C-alpha cells in the first residue's frame, strides 16, 4: 500500500521495517557487558539508589553478585523484594528513581545502568527456570485476589509462598494487566509478560479465573462470604472523555485500546494507522501511543498537551525518545473541537492555554491541526461497580499504611487506591506489603469478614 495514501490503513511499511521498528528498545546485556556495567558501581554503604526504589531492592548487593559472576544469586536478591523484577527492569522509570539517585549521575558521568543490570539477572534466572521459593505448609486459608496485574500477581505470589490458597479473578483473557495490555510493544518483546506470569504462577497454589469482572460476574460481598481475605488490585478500567464536539467520529480512539490492540496483534502489519495522527495527553500512555503510531508508519504524529513541558507526567527520557522517533510535542494546547469531512476525522481545532494566577485558562486564540486519526490519552477513571460500601477518597479506594480498606478482611493496592503514583513498581510493592499484612492478620486468628448484605 502506498505510504502517501490518506486515511487509516494497515500495511504501511515492509515486513523488515516493522521488525526493526518494534525490536527491543534496550536489548539485554551480554555477560561481558553486564560485568563492565556492574564494575562501575561503588556499592555505597548508604545506597541512595535503594532508598529511591519503591520495592527497596538491595541494589548494591545484586550488582555485586553480578560482578562476582553470580547472576542467579543476584536474581534472588531482586525477587525477594520484587517478584516482577523482570518487567520492572524494562518499564520502570529508572532515570527518575534509582539511576537518578546514583552517585555517579553527574554532569561528567552517567549513572550505573541499574535497570539493564536488573534485567540481566532476572532474565538469566527466568530463562533457566530457576525457582527460589517453596510453598509453606497449607494454612487452609483461602484468599481472593481481584486483578491479575502487577499488584494482584505480587500479592498472590507472596500469599502462596506463605501457604495460603489463592484465587485470582481477572476480566481479561490473559493475565498480566498493564504489563500485558498497557505498555509499548518495544519495551517487552518476545511475549515476556506472559513468560513472567508463568514464572510467578509456577510457585503453585494460585488459580486464575479469566473473564470474571467485578460488578458483572460477582460482587465484593460475594468474595467476602467465600474467602478469608480479599485483595483488590483492579486498576483503572474507564477512560476520561474529551467532552468536545466530534469526539464520537470514526477515527477518534482511546490510546489505551490502541496500545492493547497492538500488543495483542500477531502481525504489526495488520494494525491500521492514520497518515496524520494527533495524540492528546502528556503522560506515558500518550508517549507510547505516539511513538508506536510513528513506528507503524504514520508520517506525521503530534502530541498536544494542555500545559508545559515541565508539567508532563511522562519522564524526560520518554519525551526525548518520542522526539527522537520524529514525534512532534506541542505544549499549551487544549482540544476545542474535532472537525470532520465525509463523516470522518479531518482535523482538530485547538485553543492555546496559559497559567493565570495558578489556574489553567484558554487565551481565545485557536488553530487547526490536520489529522485523520486522534488518540485520547487524557487519563483513566476508576470503576466502582461491585464494591458496595467500600470507602473512597478522590475517586479511588482509601487504604491505610498496610493496604487495609474500610471493610474488615479487604485490602487493596495498585492504581485503584488513593495516593498511588501509577507505577508498576509501586503496584508491586503495595501488593507485596498487603499480602504480608493479610498473612499477619490471618496468623493472628482473625475470622473471615461477615458478608455485606
What is the arithmetic mean of pLDDT over 42-55? 94
Final residue of a structural domain among 102, 127, 152:
127
Identify whether residues 67 and 186 lie together within a single domain.
no
Q: Is residue 230 part of a domain?
A: yes
Identify whether residues 257 and 355 lie together within a single domain.
yes
Identify whether residues 265 and 354 lie together within a single domain.
yes
Of 452, 447, 450, the closest CA to residue 141 belongs to 447
State the residue range of the domain holding 432.
142-237+382-443
Identify whether residues 102 and 194 lie together within a single domain.
no
Looking at residue 90, its pLDDT comes to 96
Q: Is residue 10 part of a domain?
A: no
Q: Kindly report, residue by residue over 154-207, the tens digit of the pLDDT.
A: 999 999 999 999 999 999 999 999 999 999 999 999 999 999 999 999 999 999
Identify whether residues 394 and 432 lie together within a single domain.
yes
Residue by residue, DSSP assigns 104-138 as: T-SSS-PPP-HHHHHHHHHHHHHHTT-----PPSP
Q: Is residue 225 part of a domain?
A: yes
Q: What is the number of helices (H) and of strands (E) in the chain?
A: 16, 17
CB 12 within 8 Å of CB 296:
yes
Identify whether residues 290 and 368 lie together within a single domain.
yes
* Number of domains observed in the structure of the chain: 3
CB 6 within 8 Å of CB 290:
no
What is the CATH classification number for the domain harbouring 104? 1.10.1060.10
Q: Kindly report, residue by residue over 352-393, the tens digit of the pLDDT.
A: 999 999 999 999 999 999 999 999 999 888 888 889 899 999
Q: Is residue 283 part of a domain?
A: yes
In angstroms, the CA 50 to CA 63 distance is: 12
In angstroms, the CA 80 to CA 53 distance is: 14
Q: Is residue 75 part of a domain?
A: yes
CB 246 within 8 Å of CB 338:
yes
CB 169 within 8 Å of CB 153:
no
Q: Kindly report, residue by residue over 58-111, the tens digit of the pLDDT.
A: 999 999 999 999 999 999 999 999 999 999 999 999 999 999 999 999 989 999
In angstroms, the CA 373 to CA 275 distance is: 8
Identify whether residues 404 and 368 lie together within a single domain.
no
Of 111, 166, 125, 120, the closest CA to residue 143 belongs to 166
Final residue of a structural domain among 379, 398, 426:
379
CB 40 within 8 Å of CB 94:
no
What is the arithmetic mean of pLDDT over 217-246? 93
Identify whether residues 117 and 46 lie together within a single domain.
yes
In angstroms, the CA 328 to CA 308 distance is: 14
Identify whether residues 402 and 373 lie together within a single domain.
no
What is the CATH classification number for the domain harbouring 318? 3.50.50.60
pLDDT band at 5 (very low <50, low <70, confident <90, very high): low
Identify whether residues 315 and 429 lie together within a single domain.
no
Question: What percentage of the chain reaches a pLDDT higher than 90?
Answer: 90
Q: Is residue 275 part of a domain?
A: yes
What is the arithmetic mean of pLDDT over 248-274? 95
Identify whether residues 418 and 342 lie together within a single domain.
no
Higher-pLDDT residue of 440, 445: 440
Q: What does residue 257 show for φ and ψ, rounded to 5 degrees?
A: -65, -40
Q: Is residue 402 part of a domain?
A: yes
Final residue of a structural domain among 379, 408, 434:
379
Identify each DSSP E strand in 309-358 by its residue range: 328-330, 333-341, 344-356
pLDDT band at 7 (very low <50, low <70, confident <90, very high): confident
Q: For residue 266, what are the contacts with CB-CB under 8 A and spacing of at least 6? A: none
Per the DSSP assignment, residues forming a β-bridge with 11 are none
CB 286 within 8 Å of CB 314:
yes
Identify whether residues 278 and 226 lie together within a single domain.
no
CB 351 within 8 Å of CB 333:
yes
DSSP state of 28: P
In angstroms, the CA 152 to CA 174 distance is: 13
Q: Is the pLDDT of residue 448 over 90?
A: no
- 206-209 long-range contacts (CB < 8 A, ≥24 apart) are 206/156, 206/157, 206/160, 206/166, 206/167, 206/168, 207/165, 207/166, 207/167, 207/168, 208/148, 208/167, 208/168, 208/170, 208/175, 209/167, 209/168, 209/169, 209/170
Amino acid at each position: 500500500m502506498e505510504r502517501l495514501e490518506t486515511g487509516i490503513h494497515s500495511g504501511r511499511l515492509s515486513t523488515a521495517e516493522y521488525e526493526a521498528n518494534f525490536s527491543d528498545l534496550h536489548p539485554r546485556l551480554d555477560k561481558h557487558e553486564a560485568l563492565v556495567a556492574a564494575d562501575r558501581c561503588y556499592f555505597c554503604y548508604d545506597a541512595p539508589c535503594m532508598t529511591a526504589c519503591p520495592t527497596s531492592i538491595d541494589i548494591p548487593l545484586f550488582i555485586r553478585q553480578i560482578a562476582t559472576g553470580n547472576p542467579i544469586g543476584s536474581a534472588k536478591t531482586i525477587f525477594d523484594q520484587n517478584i516482577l523484577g523482570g518487567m520492572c527492569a524494562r518499564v520502570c522509570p529508572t532515570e527518575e528513581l534509582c539511576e537518578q539517585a546514583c552517585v555517579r549521575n553527574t554532569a561528567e558521568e552517567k549513572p550505573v545502568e541499574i535497570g539493564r543490570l536488573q534485567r540481566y539477572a532476572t532474565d538469566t534466572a527466568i530463562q533457566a527456570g530457576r525457582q527460589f521459593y517453596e510453598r509453606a505448609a497449607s494454612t487452609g486459608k483461602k484468599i481472593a485476589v481481584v486483578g491479575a496485574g502487577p499488584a494482584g500477581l505480587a500479592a498472590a505470589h507472596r500469599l502462596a509462598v506463605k501457604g495460603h490458597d489463592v484465587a485470582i479473578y481477572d476480566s481479561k483473557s490473559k493475565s498480566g494487566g498493564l504489563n500485558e495490555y498497557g505498555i509499548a510493544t518495544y519495551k517487552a518483546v518476545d511475549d515476556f509478560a506472559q513468560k513472567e506470569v508463568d514464572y510467578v504462577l509456577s510457585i503453585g497454589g494460585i488459580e486464575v479465573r479469566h473473564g470474571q469482572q467485578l460488578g458483572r460476574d460477582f460482587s465484593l460481598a460475594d468474595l467476602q462470604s467465600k474467602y478469608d481475605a480479599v485483595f483488590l488490585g483492579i486498576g483503572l478500567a474507564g477512560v476520561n472523555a474529551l467532552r468536545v464536539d466530534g469526539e464520537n467520529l470514526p477515527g477518534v480512539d482511546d490510546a489505551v485500546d490502541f496500545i492493547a490492540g497492538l500488543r495483542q496483534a500477531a502481525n504489526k502489519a495488520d494494525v491500521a494507522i492514520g497518515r496524520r495522527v494527533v495524540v492528546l495527553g502528556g503522560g506515558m500512555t500518550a508517549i507510547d501511543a505516539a511513538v508506536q503510531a510513528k513506528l507503524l508508519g504514520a508520517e506525521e504524529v503530534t502530541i498536544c498537551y494542555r500545559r508545559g513541558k515541565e508539567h508532563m507526567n511522562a519522564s524526560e527520557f520518554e519525551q526525548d525518545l518520542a522526539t527522537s522517533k520524529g514525534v512532534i510535542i506541542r505544549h499549551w494546547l487544549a482540544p476545542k473541537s474535532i472537525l470532520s469531512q465525509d463523516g470522518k476525522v479531518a482535523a482538530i481545532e485547538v485553543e492555546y492555554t496559559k497559567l493565570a494566577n495558578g489556574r489553567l485558562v484558554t487565551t481565545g486564540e485557536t488553530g487547526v491541526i490536520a489529522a485523520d486519526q486522534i488518540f485520547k490519552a487524557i487519563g483513566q477513571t476508576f470503576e466502582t461497580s461491585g464494591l458496595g460500601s467500600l470507602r473512597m477518597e478522590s475517586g479511588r479506594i482509601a487504604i491505610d499504611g498496610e493496604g487495609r480498606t474500610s471493610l474488615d478482611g479487604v485490602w487493596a493496592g495498585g492504581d485503584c487506591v488513593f495516593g498511588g503514583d501509577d507505577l508498576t513498581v509501586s503496584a508491586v510493592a503495595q501488593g507485596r506489603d498487603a499480602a504480608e499484612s493479610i498473612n499477619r492478620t490471618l496468623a493472628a486468628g482473625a475470622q473471615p469478614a461477615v458478608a455485606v448484605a
